[in-house]
Amino acid sequence: MPKRPSDVTHAPISHSTDARAPMPDEPTPLLGNRTPRQFMRRYWQKKPLLIRQAIPGLAAPLARDELFALADLDDVESRLITHFRNAWNLEHGPFAPDELPSVKKREWTLLVQGVNLHDDRAHALMNRFRFIPDARLDDLMISYATDGGGVGAHFDSYDVFLLQVHGKRRWRIGAQRDLSLNPDLPLKVLQHFEPEEEWVLEPGDMLYLPPHIAHDGVAEGECMTCSIGFRAPSEHELTAQFLYHLAERMSDTQDTPKANARYRDPNQEPVEHPAALPAMLTERVGAILANVDWDETDVAQFLGSYLSEPKSNVVFDPPERPLNEDKFVQRAKKSGIKLDRKTILLYNAKSYFVNGEAEKLSAKAKKWLPELADSRGLEAKRFVTLTDDSAMTSLLYEWYRAGWIQIDPSA
């Protein structure tokens, strides 16, 4: 059983990765001394932006071997892309370290998805981008490449911040219309790439790209790049998932007379053509479907559950020897609590959504849950002021037992 990198090293989180997201009107080096509001208005989903020294002094959140160790795990999504002898090849992980090419060999790259779920340093780095709603943030991917390595010229359907964390990478980008892909390759590579701009990025430099900008990043020597990626479900996916959600909601109310109503045809005439689908049947079913009702609350309930659902490969690690509830409360009063890296907690005015489950946001929970969700934790002092709410402590205890929240084991 390969060891998890975060179990292997206990490196302190460096000051450069342990930082909060800037406030909306706070100028920040992360965005080239622009405020998040200026960035969102001028660049987000609109045009590329190169930011030199977005995070000055930034070191790679993971060492090369730590990244390779992650790529060896079953619950981590990884890909190996090689470009040996001018031929593109793609393989999916997990990869044992001896299944990866030698680091001395040129032109290969390893991509490890969702590193923020497995490593605190990567998670802290991604949290700098929480001036964009969590509902849009997807994950932090790390790519490792040897000299000349890359994934070919391509485009993505999502916004991305490409943050150089080790070595150098030459990026070429272009806003071309022709996005046709080479059909003979195992990965997305553009048939014709027409770069318009070119830069070499060094550690701490960052390139923001909106969707559909053609780009090609080639390592100059050994290099590592973090991609902070966003999620934007297709309209087709949203519609299909919402209809599924509605069907589930209906099966929850199965005992109501409406849910039990069935198709009836007391006026059906005898037929000469038994195989013909009766027009009346189509009409009636159309009327039944037109009667399916949903409103904004259903949409919000659906979105909250759908967007807080962990990816299918996510596994929580409940504590092996959990504290009892009293001890848990005592410990949390001393050290505070924090959401596990893998926990997704969203809320709106009426409900909260945790790891795919929707719950009503009670008046009492309004006092602390939005705060817990936004700061992904409650400090010890704050926890103490809330402990007379036994509903809160028992709910958080349940989450602790499920591995959804953590308390500092050393406190």
Q: Which helix (H) or strand (E) holds 234?
A: none
Phi, psi torsion values for 147, nearest 5 degrees: -50, 130
Using rule CB under 5 A, residue 189 touches Co ion: no
**Would you say 43 or 144 has its CB closer to ligand SIN?**
144
Among candidates 165, 114, 110, which has minimal Cα distance to 139? 114
Which residue, judged by CB position, is nearest to Co ion in the bound state? 156
Strands 108-112 and 137-145: antiparallel
Report how far residue 308's alpha carbon sits from residue 300's, in angstroms, rounded to the nearest whole number.
12
Site size with ligand SIN, rule: CB under 6 A: 10
Tokens of 285: 């079913």
- According to CB under 5 A, which one of 18, 77, 120, 156 is a site residue for Co ion? 156
User: Which partner, Co ion, ligand SIN, none, binds residue 118 by CB below 5 to 8 Å per kind?
Assistant: none
Tokens of 59: 């070191």
Site string for ligand SIN, 132-151 (x = CB under 6 A): -----------x------xx
Site string for ligand SIN, 62-101 (x = CB under 6 A): ----------------------------------------
Among candidates 171, 178, 173, 180, which has minimal Cα distance to 213? 173
**Would you say 215 or 376 has its CB closer to ligand SIN?**
215
Could you tell me if 326 and 272 are in contact, meaning their C-beta atoms sit under 8 angstroms apart?
Answer: no
DSSP bridge pairs for 176: none
**Would you say 156 or 222 has its CB closer to Co ion?**
156
Displacement of CA 264 from its chain's centroid (Å): 47
Q: Which helix (H) or strand (E) holds 206?
A: strand 206-209
**Closest separation between CB of residue 276 and ligand SIN, Å?**
54
User: Which partner, ligand SIN, Co ion, none, binds residue 355 by CB below 5 to 8 Å per kind?
Assistant: none
**Closest separation between CB of residue 160 and ligand SIN, Å?**
6
Using rule CB under 6 A, residue 215 touches ligand SIN: yes
What DSSP state is assigned to residue 31?
A: G
Using rule CB under 6 A, residue 32 touches ligand SIN: no
**Closest separation between CB of residue 145 and Co ion, Å?**
13
Using rule CB under 6 A, residue 304 touches ligand SIN: no
Burial 386-411 (b: 16+ CB within 10 A, else e): beeeeebbeebbebbebbbbbbeeee
Using rule CB under 6 A, residue 55 touches ligand SIN: no
Report how far residue 113's alpha carbon sits from residue 78's, in angstroms, rounded to the nearest whole number.
6
Which residue, judged by CB position, is nearest to ligand SIN in the bound state? 143
Using rule CB under 5 A, residue 187 touches Co ion: no
Omega within 30 of 0 (cis) for the link into 409: no
Among candidates 139, 209, 138, which has minimal Cα distance to 172? 209
Neighbours of 222 (CB within 10 A): 16
User: Which partner, ligand SIN, Co ion, none, binds residue 225 by CB below 5 to 8 Å per kind?
Assistant: ligand SIN
Report how far residue 234's alpha carbon sits from residue 208's, in angstroms, rounded to the nearest whole number.
21
Among candidates 209, 115, 200, which has minimal Cα distance to 154? 209
- According to CB under 6 A, which one of 22, 36, 217, 336 is a site residue for ligand SIN? 217
- According to CB under 6 A, which one of 28, 78, 116, 225 is a site residue for ligand SIN? 225
**Would you say 147 or 156 has its CB closer to Co ion?**
156
**Closest separation between CB of residue 109 and ligand SIN, Å?**
5
In the window 151-210, what residues touch ligand SIN (CB under 6 A)?
151, 156, 160
**Would you say 150 or 204 has its CB closer to ligand SIN?**
150
**Would you say 137 or 354 has its CB closer to Co ion?**
137
Report how far residue 333's alpha carbon sits from residue 226's, in angstroms, rounded to the nearest whole number.
36
Contacts with ligand SIN, residue ranges (CB under 6 A): 109, 143, 150-151, 156, 160, 215, 217, 225, 227
